[in-house]
Structure 1
């Protein structure tokens, strides 16, 4: 990761919160039919916690956000027994391939571990290789909201 990238907790009143919420809505809004951008922004801001679950982190290059990742209680309505979740890992396309996603995932892992979680989860349609490299293990493949996804978990503290 470039040395001038800083990871920081995103606050709901941060001027970048709406930009970052827009990324996640554009990337995954189709998984929530009927959800408007305005509703998505409000939900997103509600997940900007002070620590633990929920928390959102943003990768900053100077004053510019270039990536994000979240730690949330529930990301998959059909797997409510799984909690918490790594969610919404996104890096602006021109910043990809520089280790930013990996750094964001590691930051979320540290946040989960600090708050006493021993295991947490994610689902992805297409980034299994990235998460496997970072120590995640596939649990199952399934159809979720019109996409084939892999549910993965990570044991913390290993």
Structure 2
């Protein structure tokens, strides 16, 4: 793989439409009524300058090969938990190359630089990846018809 670069997405990024399409295809079932157009609008709202919210893309030769976001709220039934690592996605043909790990670490660095002590995520099937990266199980629940694990990453000195 050539040089992998993790970049902050901006509202005028040429990669937003592709990233929004990935997100809609992967997680649209969790947000009934969402369309590619509404997902793109929401993604633009995640394109902050620093801290929460922020959106990132992994680029290889200038083309997006993965994405991850840092958002204040990613689960309607656990609004007391914040912020969230969200929308970690790498297309199947790019998996197994450490791209997701690099994206997660970039979001963790963003959170740490903001002085935030904890970060949350939920996943139905990637618990092993996140555990390898230092995340711990927080809670198991059924969210919108899917069994998921909420995980926490402590970034303070606990």
TM-score bucket of the superposed structures, by smaller chain: over 0.9
Deviation track 1:3-32 (CA, whole Å, cap 9, x = no partner) reads: 511001011111111110110110001100
Q: Determine the structure 2 residue equivalent to 1:156.
A: 155
Tell me the distance in 1 between the aligned counterparts of 2:84 and 2:48. 14
Q: How far apart are 1:157 and its partner, in Å? A: 4.2
Q: How far apart are 1:87 and its partner, in Å? A: 0.3
After TM superposition, where is structure 1 displaced by more than 4 Å over at least 4 residues in a row?
none
1:55 aligns with 2:23: no
Output the TM-score relative to the length of structure 2: 0.97
Output the TM-score relative to the length of structure 1: 0.97
Q: How far apart are 1:153 and its partner, in Å? A: 0.1
Q: Determine the structure 2 residue equivalent to 1:40.
A: 39
Q: For 1:77-116, what aligned pairs fall within 5 Å after superposition?
A: 77-116=76-115
The answer to whether the 8 A contact 2:7-2:56 is kept is yes
Q: How far apart are 1:39 and its partner, in Å? A: 0.8
The alignment of Structure 1 onto Structure 2 pairs a total of residues equal to 157
- The alignment partner of 2:67 has SS state of strand
Q: Determine the structure 2 residue equivalent to 1:128.
A: 127
After superposition, the CA RMSD in angstroms is: 0.9
Q: Determine the structure 2 residue equivalent to 1:31.
A: 30
The answer to whether the 8 A contact 2:2-2:60 is kept is no
Tell me the distance in 1 between the aligned counterparts of 2:3 and 2:35. 34
Q: Determine the structure 1 residue equivalent to 2:140.
A: 141
Q: Determine the structure 1 residue equivalent to 2:66.
A: 67
